[in-house]
Amino acid sequence: MKKGLLIIISGPSGVGKGTVRKYFMDDDSLRLTYSISMTTRKPRQGERDGVDYIFTTREKFEEAIAEGELLEWAEFVGNYYGTPLTQVEKLREEGKNVLLEIEVQGADQVRKKCPDALSIFIIPPSMEELEKRIRGRRSEPEEIVQQRLAKAENEMKMVSNYKYIVCNEDPQLAAELISSIIKRHMYVEENV
Ligand SMILES: Nc1ncnc2c1ncn2[C@@H]1O[C@H](COP(=O)(O)OP(=O)(O)OP(=O)(O)O)[C@@H](O)[C@H]1O
Ligand SMILES: Nc1nc2c(ncn2[C@@H]2O[C@H](COP(=O)(O)O)[C@@H](O)[C@H]2O)c(=O)[nH]1
């Protein structure tokens, strides 16, 4: 059996990565599995431990780093985020295409370790619209919103490190574009 693809999706916080993902994630023909990240951030309303994230403490996260248990990790606006290594490798060996939804520093680390990873960057129609989306979520105090917006300006400068750029104006259209990118790469992998 062919090893599954490793797919990186990045884009500034609030651009709609999670929203777009929900439109294509359940398409069986894509054989996708979402890699659940570890984070030290507190859960937002409605987020579930082990589903949206593995919520943990700074101490446990630092232990995971020291033990080499993470494929990549980064600090983002005061919290740690990282991808547990074991599940990614196991799922790829089973032929599943593993989707990582991660920020740009983590994506750099993954590209170095797995140069064949497929990388997609989602951009907003404008920075004004991005701000509206972050604020519309009403999940963070103003100070954190400002930090996320400042981070977004820097993340947008990293777009040229990605193989594909998809604009999320309409989430369904963005999802269709991402699906077709993944299908094309599956086809290429299966025919080499
Ligand atoms: N195309 C769109 N048009 C309008 N609103 C959108 C669109 N896509 C997403 N949103 C809204 O923007 C907000 C942020 O979306 P979402 O949480 O999916 O972003 P994200 O990129 O996953 O954020 P983070 O990386 O911070 O977790 C949500 O309120 C969502 O409903
Ligand atoms: N490097 C990593 N970045 C990750 C991971 N999981 C999520 N993220 C990214 O962090 C920011 C903030 O997320 P939020 O849920 O607090 O809004 C966002 O860009 C995520 O994509 C990870 O495992 N590694």
Expressed in angstroms and rounded, the spacing between residue 63 Cα and the centre of ligand 1 is 31
Expressed in angstroms and rounded, the spacing between residue 51 Cα and the centre of ligand 2 is 14
Residue 140 confidence (pLDDT): 86
Report residues of the chain scoring pLDDT below 50. Answer: none
ipTM of the shown complex: 0.98
Tokens of 20: 């777009």
Residue 189 confidence (pLDDT): 84
Q: Among the residues of the chain, which ranges form H helices? A: 17-24, 58-66, 85-93, 104-113, 127-136, 142-156, 171-190
Residue 190 confidence (pLDDT): 82
Domains of the chain: 6-190 (3.40.50.300)
Tokens of 78: 């005061």
**DSSP 3-state percent helix, strand, coil across the chain (nearest 5):** 45, 20, 35
Residue 62: CB partners within 8 Å, gap ≥ 6?
80
For residue 174, give the ligand 1 atom closest to its CA.
1
For residue 122, give the ligand 1 atom closest to its CA.
21
Residue 188 confidence (pLDDT): 87
Residue 165 confidence (pLDDT): 98
Residue 94 confidence (pLDDT): 94
